[in-house]
Amino acid sequence: MAPNLNLYSARVVGLIDVGTNSARLMVVRLNPNMSYTIINQHKVMVRLGEGEFLKGRLQPEAIDRTVLVLKRFVEMARNLGAEDFWAVATSATRDAENRQVFLERVREEAGLDLKVISGLEEARLIYLGVSSGFHLGDKTALFIDIGGGSTETILGNQFEFFSLDSMKLGAIRLKNMFLGEDTGEVSAERYSILRQHVRNSALRTIQRVKKEEIHLTFGSSGTIENLYDIAQKNFPGKKKDPQPDTEAMTIKEVEHTIQMMCSMSLSERTRIPGMNPERADIIIPGAAILHTLMEEIGIGEIHVSRRSLRNGLLQDYLLRGKFGYLEKEAQLSVREQSVLQLGRSCGFNETHARHISELALDIFDSAGECGMHLLSGTMRELLKYAALLHDVGMFLSFSNHHAHTYYIIRNAELLGFNNSEIALMASTAFYHSKKYPRKKHPEFASLDSDSQKAVRVLSMFLSIAESLDRTHHQLVKGAYFTMDQGIPLLVIKAVEGSEIELWALEAHQKHFNKIFGKNFNTRVEFVCEQKNLDLEAG
């Protein structure tokens, strides 16, 4: 019997990874029967990071190439029915002084909202992409991904990662630094200098990884895939493994491949059997990273994965529970785990934080039902996490703690979020106390216009919620907005003794009026605490 699959009610999503060397597209159909189908994949070598790492800026020609490719990606995905896009940019964009120029051109010309992610978030997505393609169980694996601008290493098993690391070591970065435009052979001396730089830059990572008992090592990325292909075709006795997920090469094969490539000029390297000609100029710097890590850590063999960050984007999209796919009941998301980890690391008052979060979400939801805002479910989620973290700055000092909170959220590299979402959460938390968002504030001015509009609304809801637990005693049990003859009415359910919380609301009227064009009224409904009811019943 054919499966009951109504393709007309399926959802198609486009997943895009813009790396330093290549841009990748995956178009996925999410089926109503809780399965998914990859309906197209595409990869174009755009060299976005070419010339950047010496000048600190993305070069105009590289921007032009990449924007054109992304425009074609979006057109291709939309032709296949894509309604939703999840696009991220990594090292080259992350490190560029003029990244905003690039991001705005992508938004204007390709119609794509490209999000910049941190090195640790990049590592997490690589882990999700690679680990989901192998049966690891509880074996500890080391994952190595060598990109054009950075190298990520991860330790983890099938179920979780133990550590994430991102180093400023990449094939294009090192090519620019040590080989330049030289098209000749690479001498043993120059290769040794290259390796010494890798060794110095990766010292802490090497020391950390060497302390662990590693059962398997996996390598991903174009550099490692191409090295494997070359080794297969150029060394006798190397037979192709019929199962791609079990492809592997030894450190000896890596060394022999590198020796062969270094003895040739660039034009000769392009003709090596198995070589991707477009990668011939950067393959040696990339290989030097792998060679050094394998030797220093003591890795005799590395398994080659054809999976990548792009696969991790898919796993992350599904694991977030969007549209119900792969949702894990009773298990916290990566985002919430990361937020709670940060809060607990800062010794925050978790009871107060959770109470503020619940109040803020109730206010958000009821205000939306009243037509006071049109913010999305994503904004609701970011409000939740901003509320949980709004007081983490007290870890440094009560005085000016809202500014400390902003700094901590912005610099903690929260997992599961892109840079724009982190900036929005940090700004929302910054304005939870007293200040009103103004464009002269650098924390607010750095946001795009849509995020600024959202922060004005979210920070107001958070400020109101914070006032309703001013004593940290949870005397206000609930709050929600309703409309009374066109005027917003905040209904508050509280116990006796909550006067301080109620008095604090008056301070928000001025800013509330600026945002919503009118003041709000309040109505207090006093309730009895459960413990009092229990005593009376007794």
Question: What pLDDT, in 10s, does the model give residues 297-356?
Answer: 999 999 999 888 999 999 888 877 554 454 443 356 778 878 887 888 888 899 999 999
| pLDDT at site 147 | 94
> What pLDDT band is residue 243 in, cutting at 50, 70 and 90?
very low
| pLDDT at site 362 | 95
Residue 240 is classified by DSSP as P
497 has a pLDDT exceeding 60: yes
Query: Mean pLDDT across the stretch 172-185?
Result: 94
Give dist(CA 118, CA 168) in Å, integer: 12
Give dist(CA 62, CA 74) in Å, integer: 18
Give dist(CA 116, CA 512) in Å, integer: 32
Residues 6+ apart with CB under 8 A from 8: none
443 has a pLDDT exceeding 90: no
Inter-axis angle of helices 350-369 and 449-467, nearest 10: 120
> In the numeric block, which tokens belong to residue 423?
């900036």
Q: How many CA atoms lie within 13 A of 413 on its CB side?
A: 12
Closest CA to 149 of 219, 92, 211: 92
Q: Are strands 22-30 and 11-18 parallel, antiparallel or unpaired?
A: antiparallel
For 135, the 3-state DSSP assignment is: coil
> In the numeric block, which tokens belong to residue 333?
């998301």
45 has a pLDDT exceeding 70: yes
| pLDDT at site 172 | 95
Q: Are strands 301-304 and 248-250 parallel, antiparallel or unpaired?
A: antiparallel
Closest CA to 499 of 475, 527, 463: 475
For 78, the 3-state DSSP assignment is: helix
| pLDDT at site 246 | 60
| pLDDT at site 534 | 40
Give dist(CA 116, CA 94) in Å, integer: 6
Query: Mean pLDDT across the stretch 222-231?
Result: 95
Pick the more confident residue, 56 or 333.
56
Complete domains list, the chain, with CATH:
7-117 (3.30.420.40), 120-311 (3.30.420.150), 334-533 (1.10.3210.10)
> What pLDDT band is residue 33 in, cutting at 50, 70 and 90?
low
Residue 26 identity (one-letter amino acid): M
Residues 6+ apart with CB under 8 A from 243: none
Cβ-based neighbour number of residue 110 at 10 Å = 22
Please state, in angstroms and as integers, the Cα–Cα distance from residue 252 to each residue in 6, 219, 282, 315, following that order: 52, 16, 21, 34
Residue 444 identity (one-letter amino acid): F
How large is the C-alpha radius of gyration of the chain?
Answer: 27
> In the numeric block, which tokens belong to residue 137?
């169980």
Q: How many CA atoms lie within 13 A of 223 on its CB side?
A: 29
Cβ-based neighbour number of residue 534 at 10 Å = 9
Q: Is the dihedral of CA 131, 126, 424, 87 positive or negative?
A: negative
Please state, in angstroms and as integers, the Cα–Cα distance from residue 182 to each residue in 126, 176, 271, 282, following that order: 32, 10, 18, 11
Helix (H) or strand (E) holding 420: helix 419-430
Give dist(CA 248, CA 411) in Å, integer: 38
Q: What are phi and psi of 456, to 5 degrees?
A: -60, -45
Give dist(CA 194, CA 177) in Å, integer: 9
| pLDDT at site 324 | 45
> What pLDDT band is residue 537 in, cutting at 50, 70 and 90?
very low
